[in-house]
């Protein structure tokens, strides 16, 4: 191949991350030229408003409002899709790939919804799609799964993938403040969006879990095929009870595969982790991921999961891979493990039914403070074959009620759902029960 002497980079989107990418590349141009032997040019950036004040100074001649023009410009070698969303971002990505370009993206929602289409377009037209920044910000988990751990079959991957939820839970524990108060602070500080549902209801973590499941197992699991619960109903009672039981609560994404049955499950939910677990001690906006492979054992990755610099670091890492591809012809390791059969055989794994997804459970109920309540609940759990391990009763926030907290022995999602449905119908149960999973992970 003819080695280019200048590599032009086009940015589609110049928000917080885009400005970070521009700033750090511009600062490092001499070092990058010395390392790769070519000149890099920040060639063009597509923005909504060229006159908007920004933290980086960019010549007006390099700004445009036409993202598709950047994506298809024959002078642009690497297209950074930093728009967000799944509409224009999809159009830009597919247009660039159809032109045979390399696309670098931080867009987990786009990848989760349109990953099959994107990788098919890259393969058909000779383009490449790199997405290190789409999961866990500055933690190089994508490279770890597709390159460093390529010899492994992964039985368990679990992690803290949303810094907003981790920040809220950390402050709730440290300060004893209620969820709503900490959420308001998180919005004010920019850790949570104005519409916080994507973060606190678990959907952001679910998008990232979908990407990790694809990399580890070669199949796309959509969010509507997962168990997805958020943190909005967690109270100080739950945090204190977890501590009393020897746990802390973290919002986790959990991906498991049983190679004997060739079944996979992907779920996102608040989880009681033993206090001495590594991830139980990862706090504030940090992310952490534990990966268990059959060759390497368990490895753990911790770092900043969001923010301008952490995400820009991951984007620039992919840009460096793209430069190597353009200058040396070095192939980027295939993103689709289903194509190289290194993830457990020729057959793609199937989704585990609810009856095969097992855990221990924590169940909090607000009930009438009267005799016979526990007997009614115990009858229902017995009928669903859910075995109670511990029972704790304490005063509830409302004066006419009590909080009843149960933990269970090993059960499964189907049985516990039946239990919850029947308990919620009891006259003595005053609010919908809260269910949390207990993460005694076997690594």
| Residues classed as catalytic | 208
Rg (CA), the chain: 24
Write b or e for each residue in 374-401: b if 16 or more Cβ atoms lie within 10 A of its Cβ, otherwise e.
Answer: beebeebbeebebebeeeeeeebeeeeb
Total residues belonging to the chain: 443
d(CA 12, CA 203): 24
149, 199, 215, 178: which is closest to 306 by C-alpha?
Answer: 199
Give the burial class of 87: count Cβ atoms within 10 A of its Cβ; 0-12 exposed, 13-18 middle, 19 or more buried: exposed
DSSP 8-state code for residue 429: B
Report the DSSP beta bridge partners of residue 153: none
391/63 Cα distance (integer angstroms) = 63
Mutual orientation of helices 108-125 and 203-217 as an angle, nearest 10°? 30
Distance CA 19, CA 82 (A): 10
Buried b / exposed e across 307-340, counting CB within 10 Å, b at 16+? Answer: bbebbbbbbbbbbebbbebbbeeeebeebbbbee
Helix (H, G, I), strand (E, B) or coil at 402: strand
Strands 263-274 and 247-258: antiparallel
């Amino acid at each position: 191949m003819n080695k280019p002497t200048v590599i032009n980079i086009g940015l589609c989107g110049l928000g917080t991350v885009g400005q970070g990418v521009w700033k750090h590349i511009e600062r490092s141009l001499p070092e990058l030229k010395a390392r790769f032997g070519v000149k890099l040019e920040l060639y063009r950036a597509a923005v909504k408003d060229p006159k908007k004040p920004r933290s980086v100074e960019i010549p007006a001649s390099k700004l445009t409002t036409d993202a598709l023009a950047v994506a298809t410009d024959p002078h642009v070698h690497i297209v950074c899709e930093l728009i967000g969303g799944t509409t224009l971002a999809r159009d830009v990505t597919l247009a660039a790939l159809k032109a045979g370009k390399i696309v670098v993206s931080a867009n987990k929602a786009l990848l989760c919804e349109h990953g099959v289409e994107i990788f098919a377009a890259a393969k058909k037209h000779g383009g490449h799609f790199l997405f290190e920044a789409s999961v866990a910000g500055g933690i190089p988990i994508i490279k770890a799964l597709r390159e460093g751990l390529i010899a492994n079959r992964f039985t368990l991957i679990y992690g803290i993938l949303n810094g907003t939820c981790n920040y809220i839970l950390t402050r709730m524990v440290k300060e004893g403040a209620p969820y709503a108060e900490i959420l308001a602070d998180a919005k004010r500080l920019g850790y949570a969006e104005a519409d916080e549902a994507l973060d606190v209801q678990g959907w952001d973590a679910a998008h990232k879990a979908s990407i990790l499941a694809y990399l580890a197992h070669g199949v796309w699991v959509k969010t509507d095929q997962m168990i997805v619960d958020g943190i909005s109903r967690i109270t100080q009672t739950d945090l204190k009870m977890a501590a009393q039981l020897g746990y802390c609560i973290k919002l986790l994404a959990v991906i498991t595969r049983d190679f004997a049955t060739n079944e996979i499950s992907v779920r996102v939910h608040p989880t009681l982790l033993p206090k001495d677990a590594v991830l139980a001690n990862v706090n504030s906006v940090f992310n952490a991921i534990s990966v268990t492979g059959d060759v390497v054992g368990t490895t753990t990755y911790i770092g900043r999961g969001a923010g301008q610099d952490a995400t820009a670091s991951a984007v620039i890492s992919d840009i460096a891979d793209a430069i190597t591809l353009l200058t040396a012809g070095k192939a980027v390791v295939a993103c689709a493990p289903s194509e190289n059969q290194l993830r457990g055989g020729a057959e793609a794994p199937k989704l585990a039914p609810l009856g095969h997804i097992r855990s221990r459970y924590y169940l909090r109920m607000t009930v009438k403070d009267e005799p016979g309540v526990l007997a009614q609940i115990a009858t229902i759990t017995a009928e669903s074959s859910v075995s109670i391990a511990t029972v704790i009763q304490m005063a509830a926030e409302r004066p006419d009620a009590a909080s009843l907290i149960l933990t269970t022995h090993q059960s499964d999602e189907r049985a516990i759902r039946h239990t919850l449905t029947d308990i919620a119908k009891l006259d003595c149960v005053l609010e919908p029960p809260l269910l949390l999973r207990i993460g005694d992970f076997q690594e």
